[in-house]
Each structure stands twice: as structure tokens, then as C-alpha cells.
Structure 1
Amino acid sequence: MTKTPLTSADERALCDAVVRSGDERAFRELYRRHTPAIYQLVLRMLAGAAHDAEDVVQETWIRAVRQLGRFRWESSLRTWLCAIALNQAREVLRRRGRAPATEPVEDAPLRAPAAKDSERIDLERAIARLPDGYRTVLVLHDVEGYTHEEIGRCLDIAVGTSKSQLFDARRAMRALLQRSPEARHA
């Protein structure tokens, strides 16, 4: 069964129902539509730590529901939800002091079906080794398809900063991926 994309008006109606009366069906629909993308984004930001990613997704929805009545629709609902999720993920990274992920990165699949499993694993490992700022912008832009303007709004940074971080992230990725397999897996 193919999902019919929600229009902005549909999402507004669902959000209004959640805000006005706590409509559980409306919330479930929003949750069903947005959680997979939020989870994948957070999982990459947290270098494959699935348990932490699940916690962040849950906290994201708690905060989103509390703030939903104040959402101004200056961006898409998904962009707003991802901004909340990214802030929560950064909080997790700060708390754990950039300690390595407790779960293997192999559990975080990329969407590129053409990539061989070993190449996908190498790519995920390289992304996980990037500094937080580089990783965030790279994933938002190159994986999730956000524009630099959307990234700027999500992260509260200038468009030029987003572009610079992306350039540096891509350069770092090239360096990581050009190393021997033994160095990449160390």
C-alpha cells in the first residue's frame, strides 16, 4: 500500500486536532508519518546508538506536543521536528562526552540500496567518526536533502556556516574513506 503524502493543510489539521483536544488518532498519524525519518536522522547523529536514538525520538515527541500550539509553520513540520530531535541528540552527545556508541554502526543502514554492504558500513563508520558539527550538516544536506537555509534554521547557524561545514565534512569523509580498510575499522 502506497502512502499518500500529507499536504501542509492536512498536517495543520492534524496538529490543530492534537492541540485542541489531544486527538490520539491525529497524533498517531503524525507520529507514523514522521518518526521513521526522525529516527534515522538521530541514529546517524548518535553514530548508530539505537537505544539513545529511541530515547531521543521519544523526548522529541514529548517536547513537540508541548510546543505544538506555538509552532508557526515558517518551515515544514518535519523540519521543526528534526530541529527538536537534533537539539536532543546534541544534548545526548554532550552528556556522554563523545564516548563511542554503545552499539555497532552496522545497525544504522543507509538508504542507498546500490551500495554494497561493506561500502555502506564503511560509509556509516566514516560518518560516525566526523566531528558533531560536520556530521550534522552532512547528514542533513547529503542524506536528508535539506537546503542550507533549512539547516541554518534547524541549527540556528548562518547559511555560510552550513556551507563551510558541509565542505569541511566532505573533505574529512574523503580522507576517512581513502584510508586503508584496517585504518577505517580501527
Structure 2
Amino acid sequence: MRQGGEPRRVHAHDGELGAAVARAQEGDEAAFAVAYRLVQPGLLGYLRGLVGDDAEDVASDAWLEIARDLGRFKGDGAGFRGWSATIARHRALDHLRRLKVRPRSSALEQDVLDLPGAYSTYDQALESISTERALELVRGLPRDQAEAVLLRVVVGLDAP
């Protein structure tokens, strides 16, 4: 249990991720590929919320650092997910400093609205309205709170 009695949120693949990271730290390249496959989609979504269309470039920089420093990581699958998000955030902030612009949310909005689904058109229309409203609300939050929402919902990380 975390503070406040709330149980820790467990991501469905954290056990597999933890095992892959441990093997990757021993030099198993295929295991690193598994860790990448499990973490990259959420990481990319998070970065799109921070840097928009430059997310893939920033993610590449982050993965270079993750690969370089993997031997120093200590923790489980959830810890690796958080550690990776921290590195990606630092690379995103560096990128934004170089561009001297504020984070953009339009790319994240477009990605969320373009996600394919197995729903009826009616359900998709209702979901789209809800998604647009949710993104409007997120954009209205202070930057640190909006980022926390992205980390929790898109990357699957839990507080703190």
C-alpha cells in the first residue's frame, strides 16, 4: 500500500519487463528488444505530449542514454518504466530548451483521436467527444499537473 492506503498500480507487463531488463543487464540483446517493445509505446505517447512531432527524435536520444546506463539501473519492471520516463523527460526538456518553445499538446490530441478502435461509429463519436473534453481539461492544468496526468494515463506510471 502507498500513502493514503491506495494500492500501487501494477502494469500488466511489469513482470515480463523486469525479467527482460535483468537479462538485458547481463548482455542479452533480445531481452533489451523486449524491454524496448514494452516501454516504447507509452514513452512515445508521453513525449508527444511534451514535444509534439519531435517525440521520435527525443525518444531515440532517451533510448541511447537508457542503453548506455542500463547497468546502473536497479529495480523491477515498474521501476524501469519510471526510470525510462525520467530519462525521456530530461531529454525532452533539453530539446525544448534548445528550441526555446513551450511543450505542445496538439500532437498528443491528434494521436489520441486517431487511435483505431473496435467500437461502433456511435461509440467512437461519444468517446471522441469525451477525449476532446479530457484533453481540453488537461491543457487547462498547470504544466506540472498536466505532465503528471500524461505520465499516469499514457505511460502507466503511478505517483509519486
Q: Give the TM-score of the pair, scaled to structure 2.
A: 0.67
Please, what is the CA RMSD of the aligned residues?
A: 3.3
* 1:136 aligns to 2:147 (yes or no): yes
Report the residue type matching 2:58 in the other structure: V
Q: 1:105 to 1:118 in 2, by over 3 A?
A: farther
* 1:18 aligns to 2:20 (yes or no): no
Correspondence for 2:138 among 93, 117, 127: 127
* 1:66 aligns to 2:78 (yes or no): no
Q: Displacement of 1:122 after TM fit?
A: 4.7
Q: 1:67 to 1:104 in 2, by over 3 A?
A: closer
Stretches of structure 2 that go unaligned for 5 or more consecutive residues are: 1-11
Q: Displacement of 1:42 after TM fit?
A: 1.3
Report the residue type matching 1:140 in the other structure: L
Deviations 1:24-78 (A, max 9, x none): 21111111111111111111222xx23x111121111111111111012176211
Is the 8 Å Cα contact of residues 50 and 105 (structure 2) preserved in structure 1? no
In 2, Cα distance between equivalents of 1:19 and 1:95: 32
Q: 1:139 to 1:72 in 2, by over 3 A?
A: same
Report the secondary structure of 1:109's partner residue.
helix
Is the 8 Å Cα contact of residues 43 and 53 (structure 1) preserved in structure 2? yes
Kindly indicate whether structure 1 or structure 2 has the higher relative contact order, using CA contacts under 8 Å at least 6 residues apart: 2
In 1, Cα distance between equivalents of 2:153 and 2:21: 29
Is the 8 Å Cα contact of residues 42 and 154 (structure 2) preserved in structure 1? no
% same residue: 25
- Could you tell me which residue of structure 2 aligns to residue 45 of structure 1? 50
Bigger Cα displacement from structure 2, 27-36 vs 115-124: 115-124
Q: 1:117 to 1:42 in 2, by over 3 A?
A: same
In 2, Cα distance between equivalents of 1:68 and 1:81: 10
- Could you tell me which residue of structure 1 aligns to residue 40 of structure 2? 35
Deviations 1:124-178 (A, max 9, x none): 35535655323212322455554332xxxxxxxxxxxxxxxxxxxxxxxxxxxxx
Equivalence map 1:1-186=2 (5 Å):
5-7=13-15, 10-21=16-27, 23-46=28-51, 49-50=52-53, 52-73=54-75, 76-99=79-102, 101=104, 104-109=107-112, 115-124=126-135, 127-128=138-139, 130-141=141-152, 144=155, 146-149=157-160
Q: Displacement of 1:95 after TM fit?
A: 2.1
In 1, Cα distance between equivalents of 2:20 and 2:153: 29
Q: Displacement of 1:19 after TM fit?
A: 3.0
Q: 1:140 to 1:98 in 2, by over 3 A?
A: same
Q: 1:119 to 1:62 in 2, by over 3 A?
A: same
Aligned length: 140
